[in-house]
A = this chain, B = another copy of it.
């Protein structure tokens, strides 16, 4: 009956319309408009790009594979180091050690007393919290304002914020974005412990963390993990932690076993249509469309390669 499927129309509307938000009323349904699903379906092949196997990380748990797109443009040293860690099998046999509700899920070495030795990779790196704006290639600005930054938008598939006065850009802490854990010293992280955002964007962490990528598939494997009962959601007992079977670079995995995913180009017309579809949803379900979308509410579409 009505309620079991309530809200199902939010993402399944069809066709097009042109009412402005101010015209929306509960008693006067909005005309239908293209949905994100419509735009994704109609996007030409040229508006998609395959993941680069050299910059794709697979985190394997017993329940499945989490696929992370790495962002060397935002953190060249850390991405190189994480790849070195993966190649020396540093993460294999370690675990998800923290799951804090509405914040982050983190993986690495739970054993503080006898930490797993790092072999070929570096144990610490200079912080890469921001990059010069001139190095932020492919930035497409979002028209919307933002509470935390003067400018926001997307670069090469990643949500980005900018401070033009300081001349810097950084990846924003949206859902599924991956950062490098560290101690109080800005340069104490190296990629041996990583986390993904599992709740409302903790944007206060922006400019405080080296951001290295984004989960493009398998996020539920991380977001549904039981919350840790220790401070900050760390697990208190080793048996609570979810083992990491392996972390691999896609390029090192036989091609037949790779996840064949494509990300919509964020500098494409299709992506602008995705943004517009989220600013102005149409009827019959939607009664009011705000005409705006917040950075972390913008879907960055991912699909199976055709």
A residues apposed to B, CB below 8 Å: 1-12, 26-27, 29, 97, 101-102, 104, 106, 108-112, 115, 124, 127, 129, 144-149, 174-176, 180-186, 188-190, 192-193, 195, 199-209, 219-220, 223-227, 231-232, 234, 278, 281, 283-290, 292-294, 296-297
Contacts and interface: CB of A to CB of B under 8 A. Distances in A.
Contact of A208 (B111, B231, B286): B286
Contacts of A283: 184
Given A147-B145, A224-B224, A224-B226, A5 B112 contact: yes
Given A101-B219, A220-B101, A287-B208, A189 B2 contact: yes
Contact of A288 (B181, B195, B208): B208
A11 B108 contact: no
Nearest to A221: B227
Contact of A199 (B182, B199, B227, B293): B199
Contacts of A183: 2-3, 5-6, 9, 285
Given A101-B223, A147-B144, A147-B145, A4 B110 contact: yes
Nearest to A291: B148
Contact of A287 (B186, B231, B292, B296): B186
A115 B1 contact: yes
A285 B1 CA distance: 52
Contacts of A188: 2-3, 6
Contacts of A226: 220, 224
Contacts of A293: 147, 204
Contact of A200 (B115, B175, B234): B175
Contacts of A11: 232
A222 to B, nearest CB: 10
A232 B181 contact: no
B232 A3 contact: no
Given A6-B182, A208-B287, 9 more contacts: A4-B110, A4-B193, A6-B188, A10-B232, A175-B199, A184-B284, A203-B297, A204-B281, A208-B288
A93 to B, nearest CB: 15
Interface centre among A2, A149, A219 (most CB of B within 10 A): A2
Contact of A147 (B186, B288, B292): B292
A232 B26 contact: no
A219 B227 CA distance: 10
Contact of A290 (B5, B6, B148, B227): B148
A184 B9 contact: yes
Given A26-B127, A147-B144, A292-B147, A6 B189 contact: yes
Nearest to A29: B184
